[in-house]
A and B are shown apart, each in its own frame.
Chain A
Amino acid sequence: MNSVTFRLETFEGPLDLLLHLISVNKVQIDDIPIAEILHQYMEYLENMAAMDLEITSDFLVMAAQLVLIKSRMLLPRQKDAEEENPRMDLAQRLAIYQQFKEQAMLLRPMYETGADLISRLPSPLPMDKPQMEQLDINLLTKALSLLLGREKPKPPTLPSAFSEAIRRKHIRVEDVAKQLLDILTAKGQMSLSEAFSGVTDRVTAVATFLALLDLCRSRRIHLDDDGTIAAGSSDDPFSPDDKELVIA
């Protein structure tokens, strides 16, 4: 049997290397001479090490699996052999991988075809975007302070307060968003201040703000210049990213 040559083709991974060894040794995937293949496989790894190539953990895991298979084959077979052929799993993995390798070869010539079909990017036609006018920074500051000002003034924290368990408030942005959408469905539209009307603390305020941003981004709502919120153009069921807010 041939031993692995020193030319050392690089292999993607252990399955790749095994398929190569199987073909070089002219054996069948479902009847691998495990001892010989294992021997050549380890030789290859040694060559890689000698050439200072990194042996990734995938290769080592496979080496261990090959050793396990070999040892199982050396053990006397039990009468009620559960694993008829210890090589079966490996053979299946190799067969599946080989199938896709071959399929990839079929796809290659097809790739060249489409490269020559060139298309345009969409024309930048004006959408229903509102114009941005000059805005006064004070308006923004005023709006923010109005928003945060809704927070009720907290009494000074007495040392005794820390003897209780600290209660954390959890608000899910998704729930706030659902509430807003419900109100919108009922009323058709609402103003930004109406959206914040039930808000009494900072956590809820931030959650509401995030909900509005997310609904806007996913086009479930539409925000006008004057702060009117209307239903947006998207009908997708709401599926937000995971967000949970906790008082810091």
Chain B
Amino acid sequence: MNMAELAAAAEAILFAAGDPLPIERLCVALSLQENEARSVLQYLKDRLDARESGLCLVFLEDKAQLCTRPAYADAVRLALETRKPSSLTQTALEVLSIVAYRQPVTKSFVEQIRGVDSGYTLSSLVDKGLIEEAGRLEVPGRPILYKTTDLFLRTFGISSLEELPPLPPDTAGQLPLPEETPAG
């Protein structure tokens, strides 16, 4: 297949997939190396942008996803009668920052930093699909570990965790972080 056909195949695959598709699946489906698959996806992305398609392609770490173009989000919501997701509270953003920059973390780690119970906020962030459980810490009590999701990346408009605004270097380096203690 030539590039245009490969891009079209990728487009079809991403449409059917819906959820972010690991690029490696594309490699398997189209018999490509990873860098070739990425070029195909970039080609597809550029083509969608060039013809001002209602769709756009988003890269998320090692996955790709087809989404509606932000410019048309309002029209989509009107047609489907859905609402814009509500804003995140300051609390939710604080908890989310801690998870994002220090993942994977336990609930008690978050609580030590904030000095206050954070269980409710963590559950609500899980419900929103912005964080998820990532196994358990192997200490007595085996507390749940949390990390951010693909939806988190997409929601904040970044394609990988490296694109998060960096923590200020002086404080991040010098200050010791709260210990991971079982008692919390």
Contact = CB atoms under 8 A, between A and B. Distances in A.
A110 B175 CA distance: 27
B156 A113 contact: yes
Nearest to A14: B115
B140 interface: no
Interface stretch (B24-32, B44-52, B88-96): B88-96
Contacts of B94: 100-101, 104
B4 interface: no
Interface stretch (A114-122, A185-193, A195-203): A114-122
B83 to A, nearest CB: 10
A243 B50 CA distance: 57
A72 interface: no
Contacts of A75: none
B18 A121 contact: yes
B184 interface: no
B115 A122 contact: no
Interface stretch (A45-53, A88-96, A133-141): A88-96
B168 interface: yes
Contacts of B175: 92, 95-96, 99
A14 B56 CA distance: 45
A58 interface: yes
Interface in A78-127: 92-93, 95-97, 99-108, 110-111, 113-123, 125
Interface in A116-168: 116-123, 125
B114 A107 contact: no
A105 B165 CA distance: 11
B154 A117 contact: yes
Given A103-B97, A115-B155, A122-B18, A15 B115 contact: yes
Given A16-B116, A115-B85, A120 B18 contact: yes
| Those 4 A-B pairs whose CB atoms lie nearest each other, nearest first | A13-B116, A113-B157, A15-B115, A116-B70
Interface of A: 12-16, 56, 58, 62, 92-93, 95-97, 99-108, 110-111, 113-123, 125
Given A117-B56, A117-B157, A120-B18, 20 more contacts: A14-B115, A14-B116, A15-B116, A56-B117, A58-B115, A58-B117, A95-B171, A99-B175, A100-B97, A100-B114, A104-B93, A110-B156, A111-B87, A113-B156, A115-B84, A115-B155, A117-B67, A117-B155, A119-B66, A122-B19
